[in-house]
Amino acid sequence: MATTTTSTSSLPYEKERRIAELAVQRAAILSKAVYNSKVKGTLEKSDNSPVTIADFGAQALVFASLRNNFPDDNIIGEEDSGDLRSNKELASLVFKAITEAVYSNTTGQSSSESSSSNELGVINNEAEMLDLIDKGDCTDSGKGRVWALDPIDGTKGFLRGGQYAIALGLLVDGVVTVGVLGCPNLGEEGGVLLSAVKGQGTVVRPLTSDFSTLPDPSRVTMNPITTTSDATFCEGVETGHSNHNLQAKIAAGLGITKPSVRYDSQAKYAALALGEAEIYLRLPSSMKYEEKIWDHAAGSLVVEEAGGVAFDMYGEKLDFTTGRTFKKNKGVIVMPKAIQEDVVRVVREVAIEVYGGKSSL
């Protein structure tokens, strides 16, 4: 990773980037508190994926910040309050976790939170929290300003103390324009906060436990490799989320001999931007699965602004205009621009042979 100190003052989307960073940092503080507590409130959703107090709490906190600062914007969020409304005990635990982690003393708010709470939004009671969680039900991602949030991406990683990410992106007319990734278990102690604005590059800062300030940023760029055999793959941990056998064959075809880095969540995009690996490959384990836009919006911009590109497995751009899920893309490949031609050629050939052509979508 190359890093240089940078200034981001008076630039387009400066407020959006700052609020998104602070909102993600606040949600990260909550997620760490939940991880360190005995009660995580884990439930299984209808698709058999887990959801915890941290997922609901982080979504409520980030939405409070978005509502407070950008009340006219639409939001797409992974969670809704259904499971909490039918489980009052769990709803109370989520509100308690927020109160303890963020509004931490009984006389009101902790000193650092009190200075920022007006700006980042306060959640006054459980009913307000449930209503906020439901603000992420937008279905049209292609028009106007739409935020896409995965409050805890990689919940399985979160639960086992591995990688997870709080991922927040702003789409403007379907184009990812601001992307923020909070990765509490990546890099230095306490984790890292990456952010990108289209055309302005990607920066990283340490994640802190301060609600109102952000440490100085450093600019990041992907490793500038020019040969695929110099690359390291970054893949998911969960074998059910992508086809690891096929990915291994592609790695061999690209002359890659180094072992893959395996991370849960959009921390994979962060790892590429930070130079821990160069290629992220996600080949579908089932063609029926539609990737969710909140799983790729923030990460794809963070990588693109660090010198990379994010395509589907056919080598076409990710299309964020199709609602809550990708309808025109299957699989994801991410790599530095310098090797995109070689990687796309190999992955595309395999994709057509194994999954059929794009017309079969």
Ligand X SMILES: Nc1ncnc2c1ncn2[C@@H]1O[C@H](COP(=O)(O)O)[C@@H](O)[C@H]1OP(=O)(O)O
Q: Is 353 annotated in some ligand binding site?
A: no
Catalytic, 208? Answer no
Per the CB < 8 A criterion, the answer to whether 306 and 220 are in contact is yes
Q: Is 264 annotated in some ligand binding site?
A: no
Distance of CA 177 to the CA centre of its chain: 14
Q: Is 295 annotated in some ligand binding site?
A: yes
Q: Is 152 annotated in some ligand binding site?
A: yes
Residue type, 100: E
Residues 311-350 contacting ligand X, CB under 6 A? none
Q: Given the complex with ligand X, which of 119 and 290 has the nearer CB atom? A: 290
> Binding residue for ligand X (CB under 6 A) from 16, 113, 153, 278?
153
**Cα gap 22→106, rounded to integer Å:** 23
Buried-exposed string 126-160: b where 16+ CB fall within 10 A, e elsewhere: beebbebbbbbebeebeeebbbbbbbbbbbbbbbe
Q: Tell the smallest beta-carbon distance from residue 158 to ligand X (Å).
A: 10
Residues 110-129 contacting ligand X, CB under 6 A? none
Closest C-alpha among 337, 17, 5, 56 to residue 176 = 17
Catalytically annotated residue among 52, 83, 134, 155: 155
Catalytically annotated residue among 55, 134, 312, 342: 55
Question: What single-letter DSSP state applies at residue 338?
Answer: G
Catalytic, 312? Answer no
Contact pattern from residue 234 through residue 253 relative to ligand X, giving x for each residue in contact according to CB under 6 A and a dash for the rest:
--x-x-xx------------
Residues contacting 165, CB < 8 A, separation 6+: 150, 152, 153, 154, 181, 182, 183, 265, 266, 267, 270, 298, 299
- 292 binding ligand X? (CB under 6 A): yes
Residues 14-73 contacting ligand X, CB under 6 A? 49
**Interface residues with ligand X (CB under 6 A)?**
49, 78, 150, 153-154, 236, 238, 240-241, 264-265, 285-286, 289, 292, 295
Question: Residues with catalytic annotation?
Answer: 55, 155
